Amino acid sequence: MSEPLRFGILGAGMVARYHAQAIAAMPGARLVAVSRSDPSKAAASAAEFGVPCETSEAALLARRDIDAVCICTPSGQHARQTIAAARAGKHVLVEKPMALTLADADAMIDACRRAGVTLAVALQRRTEPAYRLVHQAIRDGLLGRPVLGLALIPYFRSKAYYDSAPWRGTWAEDGGGALMNQGIHIADLLVWFMGDVEEVLARSATLDHGIEVEDDVVATVRFKSGALGSIAATTAAAPGFPHRVEVYGTRGGVQHEAEAIVRWDGESAPAIDPALRARASASAAGAGASPTGLAPTGHARILADFVTSIRDRRPPLVPGEEGRRSLALVLAVYEATTP
């Protein structure tokens, strides 16, 4: 393929802007159109994104000048739209969570496989150099046998955030709260490092927001390897703090704060690029304090990988099967909190 991969974006909200920036930064990609369901906002979206704005997903998917779509709509719409895109012959990069049920995730994977199109999930934390270094170290045995994995997500989201769209904080469209919407990125890293989960014990609560779903959840997990772990997530920790991910094994351990390595000790601890180490000052809260606190680099890297995976006819960094693993963990936590 010598021509740029032509993109459409389903949805025109906050996360769609990250995808549009990523497409603009990728020499082998070009944004062709976006869509939004409110016709009264179509002109404003067309002006903002600099491309036509369709007023239905069907109209965008029917365009012959689109090769791939980024799905940036509320989570409850992801499965249906991915399946429709696959049937229209479009490659799909879908935002997290890829779906709200495992059955829907399986249907998405199957639809894309049958259509011969690529399905990737925007779990862009896996592109971060510090996390990739640790993942490779675990694969190489530098930490020995992993025995403990910890994920802490002490985030804050204001009342205005939940009031900004009627689907936020609902089971039907958000699929969950602090863990499904915000924490799934960090839960995904835990699965990536430690493997799939065998057993979960959990408690959840809604302590500071008038929403259907949880804004506070803690879980202890036993991984299939026998290792143990814990996850704690909240959106009520004002003013918001950076997440932490820690992995310990029989030969060493690593502590992350945000996307930096705070400490790596053990018998086979490697030399670490200073750029990957945390500064002496506290890490910026970033996404912990605001949904717009995400650095654009993660989406740029996940989209670049998506484009090259299509061109090279190889699996993307986070295919549907991997997106399903983090979804399975989140759903297991929710099931464990059910009385």
Report the alpha-carbon distance of residue 228 to residue 195 in Å, rounded. Answer: 11
Q: Clarify whether 96 is annotated catalytic.
A: yes
CB 197 within 8 A of CB 221: yes
The Cβ of residue 103 has, within 10 Å, a number of other Cβ atoms equal to: 10
SS3 (DSSP) at 331 = helix
Catalytic residue, chosen from 41, 90, 96, 159, is 96
CB 19 within 8 A of CB 124: no
**Length of the chain counted residue by residue:** 339
- Taking a C-beta distance cutoff of 8 angstroms, is the pair 299, 124 a contact? yes
CB atoms within 10 A of CB 280: 5
The token pair at 88 is 């229209």
Helix (H/G/I), strand (E/B), else coil: 93: strand
The residue type found at 276 is L
User: Which of helix, strand or coil describes residue 339?
Assistant: coil
Q: Is the bond preceding residue 291 a cis peptide, omega within 30 degrees? A: no
Residue 148 three-state SS: strand
Structure tokens at 167: 């689907």
Helix axes 184-194, 129-139, angle to 10 degrees: 30
> Which residue matches tokens 């009520």?
236
Interior CA angle at 21 toward 18 and 24, to 5°? 150
> Residue 6 contacts by C-beta under 8 Å, 6 or more apart in sequence?
29, 30, 32, 65, 66, 67, 68
Alpha-carbon span 265 to 70, nearest angstrom: 40
Catalytic site positions: 96
